[in-house]
Amino acid sequence: MEMSKLFVVPTPVGNLDDMTFRAVKVLRDADFILAEDTRTSGVLLKHFGIQTPMHSHHKFNEHQTVQGVVGRILGGQTVALISDAGTPAISDPGFLLVRACVEGGIEVECLPGATAFVPALVDSGLPNDRFCFEGFLPVKKGRHTRLTELSSETRTMIFYESPHRLVKTLTQFVEYFGAERRASVSREISKMFEETRRGSLTELITHFSEKKPKGEIVVILAGMEN
């Protein structure tokens, strides 16, 4: 019998056909599923005919629930962790549970699968042999410090951003990286209205000021030239 463990399972960021056969099998075979939002994940599970029980595991309760989950795995149960979309722990809940399992001697296995930044990086046409993932920038405290540090970064940079903050963030990038710095903005990845716009920061600001963006957004920013 296979030893109990924690499976970290990526779920589609858009098109449900991006779900892997193995991910479906793991979710069906698990004793229970930890979901960031059980309502959102309920749609996914219903689509694939998965009836495994779900429990909430999100940024507001993960500090309180981690040890209980660890105890259940040590007690012999196999747990699958999913987020609303993409790979858990990448700008989503999951790191605390993975760390606790590792520290507790529990086997952790992360399945390969969907994550938003890889397609956005490849689609950008910017160098992807070396890159740094920044995720969401601090909204207030620490934002200036982070951007100042990144102003001399030579690798391609990856950011997540919300649509209502996109133009403000791109405008701020001009202050730290220069108006002609190349970038791309990908939104609605793997969905019906997927779009990638490429150009200078100035060109992107003009476009998205005229056409208000919608959906989840990934910004790819060229590094400083040596």
Length of the chain, please?
226
Give the pLDDT confidence of 19-76 residue by residue, as tens digits.
999 999 999 999 999 999 999 999 999 999 999 999 999 888 888 889 999 999 999 9
Which segments of the chain are extended strands (E)?
6-8, 32-35, 54-56, 79-82, 108-110, 131-136, 156-161, 182-187, 195-200, 217-221
Give the pLDDT confidence of 99-110 residue by residue, as tens digits.
999 999 999 999
The Cα 113–Cα 23 span in angstroms is 8
- What does pTM read for this prediction? 0.91
Q: Give which of 19, 70, 67 is closest to 45, Cα–Cα.
A: 19
Q: How far is CA 194 from CA 12, 15, 118, in A?
A: 14, 11, 14
Best CATH choice for the domain 117-221 from the list 3.40.50.300, 2.170.120.12, 3.30.950.10, 2.30.110.10 = 3.30.950.10
Cβ-contact 115, 86 below 8 angstroms: yes
Where does the chain hold its CATH 3.30.950.10 domain(s)? 117-221
CATH topology for the 6-110 domain:
Cobalt-precorrin-4 Transmethylase; domain 1 (3.40.1010)
pLDDT of residue 1: 37
Instruction: Decide if pLDDT at 2 tops 70.
Output: no
Give the pLDDT confidence of 143-201 residue by residue, as tens digits.
999 999 999 999 999 999 999 999 999 999 999 999 999 999 999 999 999 999 999 99
Give the pLDDT confidence of 10-19 residue by residue, as tens digits.
999 999 999 9
pLDDT of residue 3: 64
Where does the chain hold its CATH 3.40.1010.10 domain(s)? 6-110
Cβ-contact 184, 195 below 8 angstroms: no
Instruction: Decide if pLDDT at 87 tops 90.
Output: yes
